[in-house]
A and B are shown apart, each in its own frame.
Chain A
Amino acid sequence: MSGIRITGVSKRFGGLKVLENVDLEIRQGELLALLGPSGSGKTTLLRIIAGLESPDCGTVTLEGMEVTDRDVNDRNVGFVFQHYALFRHMTAFENIAFGLRVRPRKIRPSGEQIRERVMELLKLIGLEQYALHYPAQLSGGQRQRVALARVLAVQPRTLLLDEPFGALDAKVRKELRRWLRRLHDQIHLTSVFVTHDQDEALEVADRVAIMNEGRIEQVGTPDEIYHCPESPYVLQFLGDVNLFYGRAGEEGKVVVSPSGEGAGTRAREDGRLEKIYVRPQHLDVQTEPYEDGGFKGTITHINSAGPYVKVELASQWGDPVQVYLTQSRFSELGIRKGMEVFMHPRETTAFPAGVQ
């Protein structure tokens, strides 16, 4: 059974089309990332699932039940806001207890039960000693965890997170996203989180849905979308990439760049113009010319801080090219700024020119 099914959802704000005929299925117990740049409609889609916005057309089904016309508080969905939306006049404890305290008298747990449940959740998020702190006295990461516990207190069937780590600094963000992954493995809630950070999506999610201008470009496991992108958009969004243009030349080689030489990759048989994408880490560099194709470039900048050495070059046609080398390969080559070197792509992805 699917956890969440979205069928043909469209949404406009005034004249602006935000979502266009979106179909998406999220499996039960899965953690799915909605990945896209700002303005791609990912937050709107999340808010439509939550019931905070209503779609112009299309339906939302949660665990086999259509909820399109149901109220927010009748969907059993937990929503974590980007800026936490903690109630600032309540302690962490009271924030987490809120959802239980506002229940109708008939189904409201007793004071003791509420206390037990809240303490259990505080333990889960590792903030037992902060129970009586106000949001203002907590750090960003702690606030986000309280916001999550507050949502978990009402035992939702579905968990939605809007840019959950967006407002945190880089180090805390990394720690917290691993924590979220482990938490998800522990509680197995159908979860959707919105992010614009591809690293975050690829690291945390079971599957990733990439959004662009109100449409879903591709859905798949992080592995699938990284290694088999279905469109140039997905490929470009998931990391740095060099773009070359080519056409099938003699001996089945692709001609790179307008006036270029063979680069040693297979080309389309019909000789149509193609866009050829090469990730910076898939370009080999050596100081001698390659026997089989390759092209020339002059090194314009070297940044060796980090796991990769990032080398910027001007190709023989004047276009900028980025190459990432391992530290060991870099020291082996002994290259310097201003040197002329030869490049050869190990892996390429080609799309017919004109496809976005």
Chain B
Amino acid sequence: MLPPPRGLVVGSGGGGLAVHGRKRSLVPFALTCAAILFMGLFLLIPLGAVFSYAFREGVRAFWASVSDKDALSAIRLTFFVVCLTVPLNVLFGICAAWNICKFRFRGKNLLVTLIDLPFTVSPVIAGLIFVLIFNPAGKLGGWLVGRDIRVLFAVPSIVLATAFVTFPFVAREVIPLMQSQGTDDEEAALMLGAGGWKTFTRVTLPNIRWGLLYGVILCTARAVGEFGAVSVVSGHIRGKTVTMPLQVEILYNEYNFTAAFAVASLLSLVSLLTLLAKKVTERNRRIKKASYYGQPKKEERMDYVRDSDYRRQ
């Protein structure tokens, strides 16, 4: 006996699937709507509000707020802190990643876990740790005060607290990248006679540059916006130890909303620029990766295997 015609079975099956598919197509639509609604409510409206408040009393008032002496000092301090902490964390991140990815040693997992610590500790606690360490009543703090070095309630502690909080960003980006690339490239460079430093600058660094840049962007964004830890250690001395987020808080507490939102809008602008830079880097990274690991377009014929080539000598 002949088996039942195949087409019929497939046909009815296909029909069923289509109905099923139509039902399911509502789900992504609903989810998309929910996501957009959520984004609008919690992100776009507040962001719009920041800018509209900042300019509520006109461009002149905005300009007066951001060019105020204290505001300028806050901007300068924030910029200074970023310029110190980001390179510090880049250095640390690369060292840690290099160490973790290229060598075998005991306690490696512990190190990886420790790198994540600042993510899990509340920034306020991070700040308190520094207060405890550099407290003039304590040993180290007392010793430093004795030598007239102010750490707490001064710029050094702000830098330290920011560095602590932004510690993992570069390392977290670079470690997985280095791990996925393995050690072949470095070994190849060494075998070709390159020393350790040349191997690092000419092979390792170019290989991780996009991941590194991505980490730097995230690290910068966080360093600019850090509030909790810095608030604990800064001492809020106007014009001296007040960073931009702290300046916003001070102005807000003085009911000076326009000025508060003016400075806040600058911070938001930094975030938006970061987002843009992040997007560009991400795309660049993806393209690089795809073009290296992707299939070559077509396998070239080995037309170079010509006997004449070998008879030459």
Contacts and interface: CB of A to CB of B under 8 A. Distances in A.
Interface in B185-203: 185, 187-195, 198, 202-203
B180 interface: no
A248 interface: no
A102 B189 contact: yes
A185 B311 CA distance: 11
Interface string A121-143: 00001110000001111111110
Given A127-B304, A141-B300, A178-B305, 11 more contacts: A79-B188, A85-B184, A98-B189, A98-B192, A126-B309, A136-B291, A136-B294, A139-B300, A169-B299, A179-B302, A179-B305
A142 B187 CA distance: 21
B292 A136 contact: yes
A83 interface: yes
A99 interface: yes
Contacts of A87: 185, 188-189, 202-203, 206-207
Interface in B151-197: 184-185, 187-195
Interface string B221-264: 00000000000000000000000000000000000000000000
A72 interface: yes
Contacts of B310: 182, 185-186
B109 to A, nearest CB: 16
Interface of A: 50, 52, 72-73, 77-79, 81, 83, 85, 87-89, 98-99, 102-103, 125-127, 134-142, 150-151, 153-154, 169, 172, 175-176, 178-179, 182, 185-186
Interface residues of B, number: 31
A205 to B, nearest CB: 18
A88 B292 contact: yes
B298 interface: yes
Sorted nearest first, the 8 A-B pairs with minimum C-beta distance are: A126-B304, A99-B192, A85-B184, A102-B194, A85-B188, A136-B291, A139-B296, A89-B206
B300 A142 contact: yes
Contacts of A138: 296
Contact of A126 (B193, B195, B298, B303): B303
Contacts of A169: 299
16 contacts: A52-B187, A52-B191, A73-B192, A79-B187, A85-B184, A87-B188, A87-B202, A98-B189, A102-B192, A126-B305, A136-B294, A139-B300, A154-B192, A178-B305, A179-B302, A182-B310
A98 to B, nearest CB: 6
B300 A103 contact: no
A126 B294 CA distance: 23
Nearest to B312: A186
Contacts of A126: 302-305, 309
Nearest to A182: B310
Nearest to B307: A182
A53 to B, nearest CB: 10
Contacts of B207: 87-89
Contacts of A172: 299, 302
